[in-house]
A = this chain, B = another copy of it.
Amino acid sequence: MAQAENPLLDDRTVSFLLDEVLDLRAHLALPYFADHDREGVEVLLDMVRKLARRVLYPTWKPQDEQPPTFVDGRVRLHPSFHEAWPALVETGLLSATRPSEHGGQQLPFLVHAVAAAYLGAANLNVVGLGMLTTGAAHLIEAFGDDAQRAQWMTPLYEGRWTGTMALTEPQAGSSLGDVQTTARRAVDGSYRIRGSKIFISGGDHDLGSNVINLALARVVQPDGSSVAGTRGLSLFIVPRRRPDASSGDRWVDNDVTTTQAIHKIGWRGLPSIALSFGDRDDCHGWLVGQPGRGMPQMFQMMNEARVGVGVAAVATASAAYQEALAYARGRAQGRDPRNRDGGGPQLPLVEHADVRRMLLRQKAIVEGSFALALTAARLVDRAAHAPDEAVRAKSQRLLDLLTPIVKSFPAERGYESVALALQIHGGYGYSSEYPIEGWLRDQKLNSIHEGTTGIQGLDLLGRKVVAAGGEALALLLEELEATAARATQSGVEPALGEALRAAGERLRGTTMALAQRGLRGDVLGMLLHSHDFLELASIVVVAWQHLELSAAAHAGLARGGPQPRAFYEGKVLAAQYWLATELPRVPQLAALCEQGEASYATFPDGGW
């Protein structure tokens, strides 16, 4: 059957979020954004929508079906990359959020996140390479010196080269303190790098003339000593090609070897490879920032990378939801249960209750996640650019708390959401003739890369909620309270605001109980249910977002906002669904955390 063209994201929802929920106009009043106004943002988003729908989306499936080749030691991308990448570069998005002094446009990260969502829904291979390139350049911008910026950062921001984050090694995935790649200082002030990296996305390709790896390595002193753990790690620029020392004009091979192309199950257009540095002991690296500060420097970027993963997960879930919605409207199957054998035409799938449940669940996941990711993106802007230092500090604190949730919730529930989209397609969804299964594969990566969901749980409970005496949690609870008050004032059923308040209080109580367990020295007991704690906090945070959406929708209904009534009613009902089905899980998860249910802690080795 003919499918409507997939819009990837719902344009009206984007406008609603930017104008009626997140108040983009007020946000643009920050001095850093002086060159931008709401109308200019819309021009940008129109351009991005067209690029996403007309250029990038048509290349996604071909790239999935014909992944990069690895022949004679080098990786070749799908031919469509050679058109898609320049088109992405031309938007200026690679450096758009950066200061004008570094060639950027000082665009809000909030707007950039919306653009990334459109483009990512169309094709994460291309957008992923863009994010990595921006991330590498941003590290050099933040911690490199002027010469490094000129030599390495600028070509990255301009998209002439691409970048990577070269962290993982075969023995050091989640445990980066075990990185073994070494760096020995040479007489010219640069370092000689030796080691193996794995799962390096974009680590080799036939696009542009250089790949700039931002690599973690361990400095080894002339006496062979080094500092163990993460404190021994430094950040290096390790390009595939380097300027010849004797003649700066000439560029030579930098002894970076592609040893393997991994067959990923999704994001298949973007190569994930294993690299070997220094097989001939001729791999030059340049230290970025302070020695021994590799991890904290990397993590200063990590917030944005993790918000980026959340955006990517929203994008994939949204594309699948839109596809399922179009399918459910177009496909007739079955009849009203009151009239099972009664003849007459079949009903469209969208008329069946359980299909409606699956659609509304997807909508609630997609839109709750999107609102959350954009809220985090706005905090990125405020933390960097608010004139008031206290606002910057508070924004950073709240962002730090939300980041593990932004990283994991859209990924985990977004995976559930795509699976529901597949289910709506029935047997057709189970075939590669339909696009859904590709999004299911793409989505799975988001719970793994940039820190697995398990790592996010440990980060949230072990670091973020207890940081600075729980200041971030207090800030979050203030936000919840403000939203609950605003919602009730806008006409949202007061019980929903009360339910959010109660859930927030339960989150506070659970956090205090666990923190006290940690303070008493029982760190393992504190962290035993870190996954349940992450789930609990995620439910509360997304409920907060949905209540915010509902409040804005009620306000839109009351004043006759720009959207049709049914649009606003949809937001209200999605919020109602989410709070009714998810908030009741809070006490249950809190009890598991607080009581320290110990079945898997005490499980005997011989019992598996």
Could you list which residues of chain A lie within 8 angstroms of chain B, going by C-beta atoms?
Answer: 168, 171, 173-175, 177-178, 198-199, 228-231, 262-266, 272, 325, 332-338, 340-343, 346, 352-360, 363, 415, 419, 422-423, 426-427, 429-433, 437, 440, 444-445, 447-449, 452-454, 457-458, 462, 523-524, 527-528, 530-531, 564-567, 569-571, 573-574, 576-577, 580-581, 584-585, 588, 591-592, 597, 599-608
Contact = CB atoms under 8 A, between A and B. Distances in A.
Contacts of A449: 427
A524 B336 CA distance: 9
Contacts of A171: 332-333, 346
B423 A445 contact: no
A603 to B, nearest CB: 5
27 contacts: A171-B332, A174-B333, A174-B426, A177-B340, A199-B427, A229-B340, A229-B341, A263-B432, A264-B430, A265-B431, A265-B432, A266-B430, A272-B431, A336-B524, A338-B524, A352-B454, A353-B528, A354-B531, A355-B454, A426-B452, A429-B448, A430-B448, A573-B599, A573-B602, A577-B599, A581-B597, A584-B591
A415 B418 CA distance: 13
Given A337-B527, A453-B423, A570-B606, A581 B576 contact: no
B457 A430 contact: no
> Which secondary structure dominates where chain A touches chain B?
helix
Contacts of A447: 423
Given A356-B601, A427-B449, A523-B337, A343 B228 contact: yes
A436 to B, nearest CB: 10
Contact of A603 (B264, B356, B528): B356
A566 B262 contact: no
Nearest to A339: B523
Contacts of A601: 353, 356
Count copies of this chain in the complex. Answer: 2
- 5 shortest interchain CB distances as A-B pairs: A570-B607, A566-B606, A229-B341, A577-B599, A175-B334
Given A263-B433, A432-B265, A528-B353, A427 B444 contact: no
A265 B427 CA distance: 10
A431 B600 contact: no
Contacts of A567: 606-607
Given A264-B431, A588-B585, A605-B566, A531 B357 contact: yes
A79 to B, nearest CB: 23
A188 to B, nearest CB: 32
A333 B175 contact: yes
A262 B432 CA distance: 8
B419 A415 contact: yes
A140 B266 CA distance: 44
Contact of A584 (B262, B342, B356, B588): B588
B337 A263 contact: no
Nearest to A595: B580
